[in-house]
Every structure is written in C-alpha cells, then in structure tokens.
Chain A
C-alpha cells in the first residue's frame, strides 16, 4: 500500500466531513482514525474507491465519537445518522485547510504540528518522533492548536505567506525519525501549488527542490557537513534541479518577485555551476540585493557579504561585513572565512574557534572547529 498516496487523500476527506457539518477538531480526529484503520485493513483488502472508503469510515467514526459524547451528556442532543446536505466539497477546500492550520493565532510549532497532521495525514506518533518530543506532549500540542483555531471560519480566505512560512519551517528545521520531513514539506508545497496559482508558492517549491537536490552531497559518510564549494556535484539530483529551475523560471516570468523566488534564484545559480569556481557570484550578489530590498533581513546582508567576497574579493566582502551587527548568527564564521581568503590565517584561526563556540548546532560546531584546527596546524609549520 502506498502510504503517501493514502495521506494525500487526507485534506479532501477532512473537508468533506467539515462540509457535512462536523466541527474541525472532531472531523480531524475521525480522519486520523480512518487513516490508521486504512493502514491496517487495506494491505489485505484494498478498496476500489480509497477516498470513498475513507469518507465512510471517517464519518462513522465521527458519529460514534459524537454519540459517545452525547451519551455522556445524557443524550441532551440528538445527532442525525444521515449526512447533513452540505455543499459539495470545493476545489479550494485543501487551500482552506492550509490556511486554518497555519492560522496566525497559532505559534510556529503548533502550526507545524497541525499542518503535518491535518493536511499531511501523519500520525501524532510520527510527528512526535520527528521533533523528538514525547507523544503525549505532541498530542497536547495538536489538540491545543485545534482548540485555538476552533472559532476560525473555514471559508475565510487566509494569507498565503503564513502557510509558506510553516512549510518552510517543516523543510528547513526538520528533525529525523521515520518520516522524511523535507520530502513531506515538498509534497505539501506541491499540493498547495496545485490548489493555488501564486508565484511565491512556486518560488518556495523551487527553493525546496533545488536544496533537496543537493542533500546527498551535503554530508560526508561520517555525518560531517560538506560545504557547497567542496560538494561532489556529480551526486546532485539533476532531475530535481531541472524541475526546480523550470518552476522558478515560470514564476519569475510573472514578474511578481518575492523572497522565496529570490532565494530560489540564488539556489538555482549554485545548482547551475558545473564547478564551484564557475559560480556566477556577480548575479548572486544582485539577487541578494533584491532580497535585501524585499526583506531587509540582516541574515540576507550577511549572505550578501559572502557573495561579495566571492565576486569582488575578500577585502570587499570584509567591507560589506563591517556594517553588520557582529552578534548575528554565523557572523563570526563568515568573518573567519573572509580573513582566511584574505591571507590572514592567524585572525581566521582565532575567529573560526570563536565561531565554533557560538555555533547553533553540533554539525556546524564540528565543522568550524576543524577549520580552526586546519589553520592552526598550518601555522605551526
């Protein structure tokens, strides 16, 4: 049984239940139950109409749960056995679900968890494993999130930007576990792109595809980070790159530039270079200029300083770095790199060691410590 195919039915089944009058929280629980049941039953007894099967089972679960509640409340309410005649599910139901799960009233971690469950069809256990928290904690996070959005109308249009931020988080800060969160983020962004025609959705999808294409080359067999310039470009996934570039070009042609398209353009220029030495750094600097105009983010200006260092030499890079707050994450690492390129190995070694102390994760710390050790060994000879 194809679990991804099964999960791809989640949003539309959920939307049908909501249209029949189930409240979102109860409908979502019922769909989750139906998915678990499908995983159990389908391998031996595959249904002819998977979606119809899921709707039937989920609706029955919803009625059972509602009846149990009703019994507890001494049958104060009666529930219709028959589905309420609601409007037929719309093509943009999936889109509404994305909006709801990324609602601005949710914290980022709640929005991520709810999106993965209600749109992605992952189980609470899978999400808990992926983010390294106990299942009970994740269950509470999800049910709180559902309570938070319970008053939000399902048919109100939302802001695509909030959805994109959630999907970006899933892609970029995914932990491990038996679910590949980067692949899941790509699947959900692809599904979103088919529900709404928006250049920034396309931009994010392109960005993800272009980065995912380099994944195999990003880490050495021992788990250490391999910097972009040292990656074996033969291990990049050319199919994914071609798809990302195609999507990006179509988006850029619409002339509604946004930050994800600009970021994807940078990634595309890296992906396009047959060797690190052939990277078109001048164009990359131009894209960072665009990004700085769009976002005014200090992180963008830091990345721009790196690109300037490659395009115009390390002195120019250091000059670009000089105006930036040195408490920015990775500022010291960038300074170390530019000083090394400039030939000042003593300063570079000191800064690499300092950057290692401030690294936000173990892989980067190890990488920076190795850089410091490499320079210190050279300085001793």
Chain B
C-alpha cells in the first residue's frame, strides 16, 4: 500500500528507443497512443490501483513573491529549462515491484510505426504516513 508518481517528461528524460517526435506520427498512431493511455488508466481503475492522472501543457510561468503589497513577479517560460514535465499518473500499489511493472507497461505505449516508444518514465514514491508502531 504505497503511492507512486509516474512522471512523463517532455524534456529531461533520457532519449527513448523509438525516438520520433509526436508531430511526425500518423494521425492513427496518435489516436492509438491516446487510446493506449486511457485504456491503461481504465485498467488500473479496475484493479483498484488508480489514483490520478493528468497531462500538462508545456508552456508554464514562473511566479514568485515580491514583497508586501506588491504583485507577484512572473517570468518565463524558459526555453533552457532542462526538466519539463508532460504529465503524471498516481498509482496506489502493494509493492515497489508492482510500481515498476506498471511503469514498464505505460512506457510501452505505441508511437511511430505502432511500435512501443520505450519512453523513460520517472518513478517517485510518495511520502507515506508515519507508522504508529516504530520502536
């Protein structure tokens, strides 16, 4: 019973095996890819392991506090930002091994030529609760 975040990157992850940008795919390949993703989420819901999944637009803004009574400062987007997150899925599984297994399946989503992308996904554990019994 542990939650994990599967992070998908626009930029920042090592190059996938099937490294063809999405805008070079055929429309059918894009549809197949999207269907794979939503089927994957639906399957996880059925196994009782799905928590959340979201996709993010690539264009973001940096914001920071600028002192009392002043509006926040905004900046960016920065083209040089190395790590750009595309989206995530949150899963609730019984073991780390199961989380790795699911990340592997998600990474097999089809891309160009209908072949798996072999995309690198980042797997991050959530902090759990502090257990009652520790000594």
Contact = CB atoms under 8 A, between A and B. Distances in A.
Contacts of B63: none
A225 B135 CA distance: 14
A138 B135 CA distance: 31
Interface string A190-234: 000000000000000001000110010000000001001000000
| Majority secondary structure, B binding face | loop
Interface stretch (B6-14, B21-29, B43-51, B69-77): B43-51
B92 to A, nearest CB: 5
Contact of A360 (B46, B128, B135): B128
Contacts of B79: none
B133 to A, nearest CB: 5
A134 B135 contact: no
B94 A109 contact: yes
A184 B80 CA distance: 52
Interface residues of A, number: 44
Number of chain B interface residues as a range: 20 to 34
A142 B131 contact: no
Interface of A: 107-110, 112-113, 131-134, 136-138, 140-142, 144, 169, 171-175, 182, 207, 211-212, 215, 225, 228, 263, 266-267, 270, 303, 306, 330, 359-365
Interface of B: 1, 3, 44-52, 92-94, 127-135
Please give me the 8 A-B residue pairs with the lowest Cβ-Cβ distance, nearest first: A141-B48, A363-B130, A140-B48, A362-B127, A109-B1, A107-B94, A361-B127, A361-B130
Given A141-B47, A142-B48, 6 more contacts: A109-B93, A112-B1, A137-B50, A144-B48, A361-B128, A363-B130
